[in-house]
Amino acid sequence: MSTYSLLDLIFPSRCAICDCSGKNLCDSCRSLICLEPQEFALAGIHVFTVTRYGDETSKLIVALKEKGQSALVSELALMLDPILAKIPRTESQVYLVPAPSRPANFSKRGFHPMLLLAQAISNRNPKLRVLNALSFVREVKDQVGLSASERIANLALSMSLNQKVAGKICYLLDDVVTTGATALEAARVLRIGGASVAGVLALSYSKG
């Protein structure tokens, strides 16, 4: 029995959107999520997203990150299938690099949401290997409410590598892309380490 199944026996699942019991995401609420895969360039980086940021997507992300519904990663991994299919087939290993969690958030949550999502994706797509290579080297502010320039300044020189990435083909994995500040800083660090940053994979895109 998986850890998620055991937890469901002890703490029955509730829908992250409507709070009904039975599933982490009920069929009715799943039908409300409009998958609109998009590809665009942001801050010079190729970005792939599956939804526009809205009420339903927001509730899913909050349930995962702030309410500890970690079993939701299996649902979110499925949602990403349309953009995962766009990753070019190659003989070289491709890596998913989860956007790092702020130290304060990790201490509060006890887990790394994007790492869990990357692992769920990799479990379903063995050719995509998880490379948890990024860490914050200083505390940064919560990005919510900051302007585009403030977000970039907030994250500038905030990340570093915790392992070798030279020669690796990498896709950054994040929940929401807004101004591209996180992607810009992550790509900078990965490229300094010698990685090839092929793009960013994200659940949703918000205009901020």
User: What pLDDT is attached to residue 2?
Assistant: 46
pLDDT tens sequence across 44-94: 889 999 999 989 999 999 999 888 888 899 999 999 999 999 998 888 999
The secondary structure of 112-123 as a DSSP string is -HHHHHHHHHHH
- Span 34-205 CATH architecture: 3-Layer(aba) Sandwich (3.40)
| pTM beyond cutoff 0.95 | no
Domain residue ranges of the chain, discontinuous segments joined by +? 34-205
Over range 36-41, report the average pLDDT.
93
The dihedrals phi and psi of 50, each to the nearest 5 degrees, come to: -110, -20
Q: Are 181 and 148 in contact (CB under 8 A)?
A: yes
Res. 156: pLDDT tops 90: no
